[in-house]
Structure 1
Amino acid sequence: MTFVEQRTRQVEPRPTLAEQLWVVVPAHQEAARIRDTLDALAAQTDRDFTLLVVDNASTDQTASVAREFARRAPFPVHVVAESEKGVGCAVDTGFRYAIARGATLLARTDADCLPHPGWTAAARAALGGGAGMVCGRIVARRDEHGPGGRAAFRAMVVLAAFFGRVRPAHRRRHGYLAPYRMHAGNNMAITARLYADVGGMPRRPSPTDRLFLNRVRGRTAAIVHERTMVVGNSTRRLRAYGIVGTARWYLDKGPGSRGEDPR
């Protein structure tokens, strides 16, 4: 794990809270998109959290955009660099960085996503209500596709959820304490204690989100799906791969000959 802290910005001092929420946003080559994500976080109804942007081996201005946002953000912002490329690496570095600085609740979205205004409030309420891990609901961003594209995205989500439930390797006879739930890494929350107990996010191999969910399922049954915890998901993979190619991605077939994942 290699990270370099680039900037820490604090707003007015706040009283110490029993539950400190940190939001972690891994970002690779997202200078053109991360502003919208940061603005969506600034528009949350619950802004009592610390934001951490993990710049994951970007060669563009991703970190600079995050640092500029820090100057006007309504909450504390940290920006760190993770030189080992990979979303699992970035998330694990970010979560461990936050825990080391007092985080007790952790939430994650991605740098091309738009959390709805009640996202952090829903995450906090679910974790405070006894959940160890919360899986939110993902919908297609309305600014990227028309009704047809959004319908195709919904179909991909349904397919991925169905595949996860019926996949033999995910069945509870393998020792899992909870049924498989649709888990999008760009819309999840977890307690810091549970994150540490399961050994954190796998840094390799991809898809790390599914591996992480199964780590949690092997540890606890306190996993909930919270429909009010909503994130607008980018559909650029759908545009780049098409419906069949996107289905292959969600079925663990990878991008094939298309090169780097376009997220």
Structure 2
Amino acid sequence: MTALWVIVPAYREEARIGGTLQALAAQQDTDFTLLVVDNGSDDRTAGIAREFAAGAPFPVEVLVEPEKGVGCAVDTGFRHAIAHGAALLARTDADCLPEPGWTAAARAGLLASGGLVCGHITARADEHGPLGRRLFRGLVVTGAFFGRIRPAHRRRHGYLTPYRMHAGNNMAITAGLYEAVGGMPRRPSPTDRTFVNRVRRRTTAIVQRRDMVVQNSTRRIRAYGVVGTARWYLDRGAGGRGVDPR
């Protein structure tokens, strides 16, 4: 089977990474290698991943990337995976819960499209109640709509396909395409929009799969507030706050 690697960048996630690892262990398709990229954490994030590796149903590697920034961790992880034989790459984050069909949907989407697969994100049920989850969904829908109508994202700027909402914590890409577009930008953060626009200039092979589902952390709402979170999803910056809500 075509080699799939799952990359999980992590920074100070000792409280949440265990849930992410268990969600990956519960995947219907476990024929993949897991790479956790610890971004220089000063807690037990890397240690928890190493302990998990001892009983995991798939190979697990832990890599340390000391250069701070999620783009740095993701790019280092993807390039490490490619150098060690990965043909298909999927990413989630260490505060997210991929649903059981996630890796199977990512693999199917990549084999069918040969390009970039954007998954569907929902809110974690253990961080906010129903109102918070509806608010999160509304912010995501608003951000996706803004992305589609934003003048800078229009096809006259050299893009080959319409803009699509791209959540970095729920995406998959072929190794060949990742290298062809120059990889994930290491700076500045956030890097997801820049990355998807690199892909849009290269290919039309960008698909969305509703069955590739990740439950997303909603802690940004608590850290930034509703207005600050809306600014974030509308690409208006963090409003003077750090880009990492921890």
Q: TM-score by structure 2 length?
A: 0.98
Match of 1:180 in 2: 163
Q: CA deviation at 1:199?
A: 0.5
Within 5 Å, give how 1:213-232 maps onto structure 2.
213-232=196-215
Partner of 1:124: 107
2:128 is matched with which residue? 145
Corresponding residue of 1:6: none
Change (3 A) 1:26 1:35: same
Partner of 1:76: 59
Match of 1:5 in 2: none
Q: Which residue of 2 aligns with 1:163?
A: 146
Letter in 2 for 1:194: L
Q: Deviations over 1:4-59 (max 9, x none)?
A: xxxxxxxxxxxxx3x10000000011011100000000000000000000000211
Q: Deviations over 1:94-141 (max 9, x none)?
A: 000000000000000000000000000000011111240000000000
Counterparts of 1:238 and 1:35, CA distance in 2: 22
Q: Does 1:110 align with 2:85?
A: no
Q: Distance in 1 between matches of 2:43 and 2:75?
A: 22
Determine if contact 1:207/1:252 at 8 Å carries over to the other structure: no
Identity among equivalent positions (%) equals 75
SS where residue 45 of structure 1 aligns? coil
* CA offsets 1:227-247 (integer angstroms, 9 cap, x no match): 000000000001111111101
Report the Cα distance in structure 2 between the residues aligned to 1:156 and 1:166, rounded to whole angstroms.
Answer: 16
The answer to whether the Cα contact below 8 Å between 2:142 and 2:234 also exists between their aligned partners in 1 is no
Q: Which range moves more in the overlay, 249-258 or 88-97?
A: 249-258
The answer on whether the counterparts of 1:107 and 1:188 sit within 8 Å (CA) in structure 2 is yes
Q: Does the CA contact (< 8 Å) of 2:14 and 2:43 recur in 1?
A: yes
CA distance in 1, matches of 2:243, 2:171: 24
Letter in 1 for 2:195: F
Structure 1 residue runs of 4+, over 3 Å off? 257-260
Compare 245-254 and 19-28 and name the one that shifted more: 245-254
CA distance in 1, matches of 2:131, 2:204: 37
Q: Does 1:196 align with 2:164?
A: no
Whether 1:24 and 2:7 are equivalent positions in the alignment is yes
Ranges in structure 1 where 5+ consecutive residues have no aligned partner: 1-16
Q: Is the alpha carbon distance of 1:259 and 1:217 closer, same or farther for their aligned partners in structure 2, counting shifts above 3 Å?
A: closer
- Equivalent pairs counted in the alignment come to 246
Q: How does 1:39-54 map to 2 (within 5 A)?
A: 39-54=22-37
Compute the TM-score of the two structures, normalised by the length of structure 1. 0.92
In structure 2, distance between residues paired with 1:26 and 1:141: 18
The CA RMSD over aligned residues, in Å, is 1.0
Match of 1:10 in 2: none
**C-alpha separation between the residues in 2 aligned to 1:258 and 1:179?**
31
